[in-house]
Amino acid sequence: MLRNLSTFFLRTLREDPADAEVNSHKLLVRAGYIRRTAPGIYTWLPLGLRTLRKIEDIVREEMDAMGAQEVHFPGLIPAEPYKATNRWEEYGPTLFKLEDRKGGDYLLAPTHEEMFTLLVKDMFSSYKDLPTTLYQIQTKYRDEARPRAGLIRGREFVMKDAYSFDVTEAGLDASYQAERDTYERIFTRLGLRYVIVSAMSGAMGGSRSEEFLHPSPIGEDTFVASPGGYAANAEAVTTVAPDAVDASGVPSPLEVPTPDAPTIESLVDLLNAEHPREDRPWQAADTLKNVVLTLTHPDGKREILVVGIPGDRDIDMKRLEASVAPAEVDMATDSDFAGHPELVRGYIGPQVLGPNSPARTVDSEGNTSGSVRYLVDPRVVEGTVWVTGANADKRHVLNLVMGRDFAADGTIEAAEVREGDPAPDGSGPLHLERGIEIGHIFQLGRKYAQALGLTVLDECGKTQVVTMGSYGIGVTRVMAALAEANCDERGLSWPAQIAPFDVHVLATGKGEEVFATAASLGDELDVAGLDVLVDDRRKVSAGVKFKDFELVGIPFGLVVGRSLADGKVEIRVRATGETIVVPVEEAAARLRELHGAAVKGE
């Protein structure tokens, strides 16, 4: 395909958009790929659509090659299937809900598990029909509270979602592995570096779950890796809990005044000055920090929760949110504290929380009331000794022993994971890195099939609930990740396999021969099967054309200008900055050769 820039729907910008935070967002707007419509919602322009479609084509080719079959569901779907699986409420406020004129409930689909399940239920009834894998490339909608970074976290986005359907667990394992292998081929073809990490299933449900992350400093996800091969999203890391401790020799709890100690650091300083230990100085890790939070459950119920963690660590909100999903988490407010006078800010101890509270009651069915639920970090094990709040202003308690002096309602993974923490599998210290989630695969199991009645008859004529896998790729997010990984201070620099055009021809002179030669070379390259953009603008300077070439990021530029007087043109390689001077008659063949090698990764 050949396009002339003089008639192409494109306007580039010289200044970064005011709301852009990351390079991909800045450059995709400035280079004319997308335009902002509303927070987290973008209009796709011709350059952006061409790149997006090339990414989709690679995804589609590999999905088809593995035997998956493409379908396409509506984005607007009825609420009944979502209500049947409880996700109408469980998904929370990120779900776009609406009513039609007759009062019927509908939603803009954030995912399509229910629709895939019902489609297979409608079509298949025997084990002989399975296994099968269906997929679509479709727009999704989520009412993100904080859309950010352009295409990386939006409220409308394109996803490839696939679902496998099997009769047995062994079949699900095979389908899962086939999809996993396909993802590796997809991201390799896209030229996008990735790591595979264990992950949480979240609102999707299911058992085995892995993410494909593109390492990037602007990524929203923190992942960890050990020298021995352990890799996981930080949300999925399980804490290595120490063994229980013999605390028989620990003195009774001692309440002490702690004025001017509003922080863990100041508390440690005060303890070392006024209550020194004989064996070593006090440390932040000796303190038990109790953080007051609120959970908003899908049914709207609000709950106060206190989480106890070692004082040398902070709460990781993403880990906490993953642990309490589908509830939403916030820090407690003034009104929350006003409703619980036993919680003395800055001096909260476990003595008034959970099973320790004298106000707690338990009914005949085991339901508790009268006290705030209390969960602790897995490091708070039997026999560990803590300094914590005395539930009185400016006072703390020393020698408070877990299991002797207080208990908890359970443990929770909420504390931050740190560089050097031990891997859960014993494979060494953890290294932390940031990443952009580009794919996520789950073994859903029978959750959705059970809820929606998807069954088949097995070889013996017995009814079996189908087991499912779910496999997603964020196509628009992949494009943003590729933009982040392929740019410099001048603009974008797309890999050849997904660039909107293969060659950008620049006519950089004023003479008629320059424009005629540029047009002729554009035609020759088009006939040769390359996608060509010819900058044939007559009243635009060479400097502006070069800046637009660098900004737009097409992998190869063909400059027709001064050297034409000697029968030559310049080939410019955007990724390396290399300039190759060739005779006019050899330019098309040389570009064909360079482009072919680039697509192959050579």
Pairing of the two strands 69-70 and 132-141: parallel
Who wins on pLDDT, 65 or 328? 65
Residue 226 to residue 432: CA distance in whole angstroms: 9
Instruction: Give Cβ neighbours of residue 80 (< 8 Å, ≥ 6 apart).
Output: 105
For residue 475, the model assigns a pLDDT of 98
| Secondary structure of 547-560 as H, E, C letters | HHHHHHCCCEEEEE
- On average, the pLDDT of the chain sits at 94
For residue 324, the model assigns a pLDDT of 92
Who wins on pLDDT, 602 or 298? 298
| Sheet strand arrangement including 105-108 | 76-78, 105-108, 96-99
Q: Which residue has the tokens 């320790």?
A: 356
For residue 367, the model assigns a pLDDT of 81
For residue 472, the model assigns a pLDDT of 97
Who wins on pLDDT, 360 or 29? 29
DSSP H helices in 340-466 = 447-452
pLDDT above 60 for 203: no
For residue 206, the model assigns a pLDDT of 56
For residue 381, the model assigns a pLDDT of 97
Residue 23 to residue 36: CA distance in whole angstroms: 15
Work out the pLDDT band at 585, boundaries 50, 70, 90.
very high
Whether the Cβ atoms of residue 97 and residue 423 lie closer than 8 Å to each other = no
Whole-structure pTM value: 0.89
Element (H, E) at 80: helix 80-84
Whether the Cβ atoms of residue 226 and residue 427 lie closer than 8 Å to each other = yes
pLDDT above 60 for 202: no
- pLDDT per residue as tens digits for the range 470-505: 999 999 999 999 999 999 999 999 999 999 999 999
For residue 326, the model assigns a pLDDT of 83
Average pLDDT over residues 142-155: 92
Instruction: Give Cβ neighbours of residue 524 (< 8 Å, ≥ 6 apart).
Output: 588
Residue 31 to residue 311: CA distance in whole angstroms: 48
Rg (Cα) of the chain, in Å, rounded? 30
Whether the Cβ atoms of residue 176 and residue 443 lie closer than 8 Å to each other = yes
- pLDDT per residue as tens digits for the range 113-123: 999 999 999 99
Who wins on pLDDT, 601 or 302? 302
Pairing of the two strands 156-166 and 41-44: unpaired
Average pLDDT over residues 123-152: 95
Q: Which residue has the tokens 């496999």?
A: 471
Concatenated DSSP letters for 121-133? HHH--BGGG--EE
Average pLDDT over residues 270-277: 95
